[in-house]
Structure 1
Amino acid sequence: MTTFEKIQEIIVDQLGKEEEEVQLTTNFREELDADSLDLFQILNDIEDAFEEYDVKIETDEGLTTVQDLVNFVDKQIAANK
């Protein structure tokens, strides 16, 4: 499972969306109607899902799209291998 697929699964579960609605270019707030609490829970779930790589996400600042989040997680994974 790729980073995107794992993150997509978390977003789908948290927001009750269809997989087709969650693509790399999808904007969390504008297209998925995610509020701050939704994003907080998504980020916590991602930290749990990638705990073996010690992924830590302190803020959602700069994480506008799914691609932003995938890139951030991939960088942390690469740094912690």
Structure 2
Amino acid sequence: MSVDEIFQTMRDLVSEQFAMEPAEVTMDTSFEEDLGADSVDLVELVMAMEEEFDMGEANEDELAGLKTVGDAVNFVASKLK
């Protein structure tokens, strides 16, 4: 799966969870600043990512660095290699 394909899927997950148009989601979209995500929102998103990409469970240390959609896309890409 390419980074672009991962982004397309991630954009759909984010837009669905945060009730926004997919076109509004970019690689630079910040979970906290742009989406107002709290820790519960992020846990739900990570669970959706784990299920959607079938990548197993991520640990908290790995997730601490996910600040933007781009961070999450790159994280998934590294997990799928």
Q: Same fold (TM over 0.5)?
A: yes
For residue 56 of structure 1, report the CA deviation from its aligned partner: 3.0
CA distance in 1, matches of 2:41, 2:65: 16
Fraction of identical pairs, as percent: 33
Would you say 1:6 and 2:9 are equivalent positions?
yes
CA RMSD of aligned residues (A): 1.4
- Structure 1 residue 26: deviation in Å? 0.7
- In the aligned structure 1, how far is the partner of 2:19 from the partner of 2:73? 20
- Note the residue ranges of structure 2 that are not aligned, 5 or more in a row: none
The TM-score normalised by the length of structure 2 is: 0.86
Could you state the TM-score of these two structures normalised by the residue count of structure 1? 0.86
Structure 1 residues 63-74: aligned runs within 5 Å:
63-74=66-77
Whose relative contact order is higher, 1 or 2, with alpha carbons under 8 Å and at least 6 apart?
A: 2
What residue identity is the alignment partner of 1:18?
E
Give the number of equivalent residue pairs: 76
Give unpaired runs (5+ residues) of structure 1: none
Structure 1: 4+ residue segments shifted above 4 A: none
